[in-house]
Amino acid sequence: MTPDTALSDRELMVSRLIEGPRDVVFEAFTEVQHLSRWWGPDGFTTTTRTFEFSEGGVWEFTMHGPDGTDYPNWIQWMEIRPPDVIVLRHGEGPDDPEQFSSTFIFEERTDGTRVTLRSEFKTKALRDRAAEEYGAIEGANQTLDSLATYLTGR
């Protein structure tokens, strides 16, 4: 998969240029001491119970929201190809029927590393729900949203 492959209606994608060399950016995904410093939105912290960064290995952790709400998280690494690709399964636990698959792609750029995340959900309905409620964070920017709606005529 490349970042440019067309998105299906079961996928969501985000992409961001990170201002650092690819090995440093990739490393930030491989250890709890790094992950706990950035994983999650503003104001969130994580408590890790299990962590083994290997194909088939698992990361079990709780995310603590700024309002005190706890979110159980369970991640299993499916594919690790340093420094290009990480594929993982993500859900609330190993038996969560709503688990989804996430692929992180790391590309070298002259001014940094482009990190692209593509997540694939089991159904379009699950994808749509994640787009609106994932992480249960309230947020809105009506100006941008209506601009986007206007531009695409949706």
Partner 1 sequence: MARARTTADAFNAIAEPHRREILTLLKGRERVVSDIADAMGMNQPAVSKHLRVLREVGLVRVHPEGKQRRYGLDARGLEPVHGWTGGFEEYWSESLERLNTYVKKRQREEER
| SS3 annotation, 45-74 | EEEEEEECCCCCCEEEEEEECCCCCEEEEE
The site string for partner 1 over 5-24 (x = CB under 8 A, - otherwise) reads: -xx----xxxxxxxxx---x
* Sheet with strand 85-91: strands edge to edge: 11-18, 112-120, 100-109, 85-91, 70-81, 58-64, 45-51
* Sole window of 52-60, 75-83, 84-92, 114-122 interacting with partner 1 (rule: CB under 8 A): 114-122
Interaction of residue 125 with partner 1, rule CB under 8 A: no
Q: How many CA atoms lie within 13 A of 123 on its CB side?
A: 5
Residue appearing with tokens 């979110």: 71
Closest CB 56 distance from partner 1, rounded Å: 24
* Interface positions, 50-109, toward partner 1 (CB under 8 A): none
Interaction of residue 139 with partner 1, rule CB under 8 A: yes
Closest CB 34 distance from partner 1, rounded Å: 7
CA 148, 4, 126, 63 torsion-angle sign? negative
> Which stretches of the chain bind partner 1, using CB under 8 A?
6-7, 12-20, 24-25, 28, 34, 37-42, 111, 115, 117, 119, 130-135, 137-142, 144-145, 147-154
